């Protein structure tokens, strides 16, 4: 997708980046500017939790299922689960691996949920067996996916798509190539995607509504990388984008 094809509701163009460029953005943000991954993850998870509440049917007492992997995307999903639990909402987490297989920031976020007593499981059948009203949060795979999705993640994606439940994806729907938009084997079909910092070039053809969330990356990061940038957020923490 052309870099200027994403626009705000007021018609302002928003630059899109490839997966490689987003890796550079993350690297410069952390290594040169000093904003830490946990800070950006907190902002991402808080924004995601708001969008989950926005699609949730309060009257039906809809449950929330966060499907999370390792890395930054999974960690953001776990932060989302914490913010939802802090509001006494019925949230559960399904991991794509045993919890002791998590690393880095995702492992850190899991430890917090464990102290809170939030239900975290890695048994897909146990979790997906619930048939009541549910919002599904897709925090399984981030923008760094290379090659076709493999089990168990591919199975989780299929099970998410089978449910008649709204799906909110974090950053990039799992299974979508963030740069090209191609489906890598199998991909989540979201009702809403909350992408982070800048839209990814592969999001133009993704179904559902697309939102862009501010995770507090300073403008100097984009300047150092030669990425055209003018903040689209103004006084908002997230905005809806049009393709």
Residue 130: its pLDDT value, please?
A: 67
Are the beta carbons of 230 and 16 closer than 8 angstroms?
A: no
Among the listed ranges 57-71, 95-109, 127-141, 212-226, which one has the minimum average pLDDT value?
A: 127-141
Query: The domain that contains 216 carries what CATH number?
Result: 3.40.50.10260
Distance CA 167, CA 188 (A): 8
Q: Which pLDDT tens digit goes with each residue over 2-61? A: 455 799 988 889 999 999 999 999 999 999 999 999 999 999 999 999 999 999 987 777
125 within domain boundaries:
yes
Split into its structural domains, the chain has a count of 1
71 within domain boundaries:
yes
Question: Once rounded to an integer, what is the mean pLDDT over residues 61-89?
Answer: 95
202 within domain boundaries:
yes
**What residues contact 109, with CB distance under 8 A and at least 6 apart?**
41, 45, 75, 78, 79, 82
Residue 187's domain spans which residues? 6-241
Distance CA 76, CA 180 (A): 23
1 within domain boundaries:
no
Question: Once rounded to an integer, what is the mean pLDDT over residues 129-146?
Answer: 86
104 within domain boundaries:
yes
């Amino acid at each position: 997708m052309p870099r200027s094809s994403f626009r705000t509701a007021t018609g302002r163009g928003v630059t899109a980046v490839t997966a490689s460029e987003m890796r550079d953005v993350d690297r410069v943000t952390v290594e040169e500017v000093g904003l830490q991954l946990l800070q950006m993850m907190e902002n991402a998870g808080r924004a995601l939790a708001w969008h989950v509440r926005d699609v949730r049917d309060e009257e039906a007492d809809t449950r929330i299922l966060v499907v999370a992997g390792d890395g930054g995307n999974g960690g953001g999903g776990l932060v989302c689960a914490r913010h939802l639990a802090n509001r006494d909402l019925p949230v559960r987490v399904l991991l794509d691996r045993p919890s002791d297989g998590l690393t880095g920031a995702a492992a850190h976020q899991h430890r917090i949920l464990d102290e809170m007593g939030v239900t975290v499981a890695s048994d897909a059948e146990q979790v997906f067996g619930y048939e009541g009203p549910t919002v599904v949060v897709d925090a399984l795979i981030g923008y760094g996916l290379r090659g076709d999705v493999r089990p168990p993640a591919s199975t989780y994606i299929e099970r998410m798509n089978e449910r008649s439940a709204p799906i909110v994806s974090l950053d990039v729907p799992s299974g979508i190539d963030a740069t090209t938009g191609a489906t890598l084997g199998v991909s989540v079909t979201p009702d809403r995607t909350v992408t982070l910092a800048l839209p990814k070039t592969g999001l133009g053809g993704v179904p559902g509504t697309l939102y862009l969330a501010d995770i507090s990356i300073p403008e100097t990061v984009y300047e150092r990388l030669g990425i055209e940038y003018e903040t689209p957020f103004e006084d908002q923490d997230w905005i809806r984008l049009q393709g």
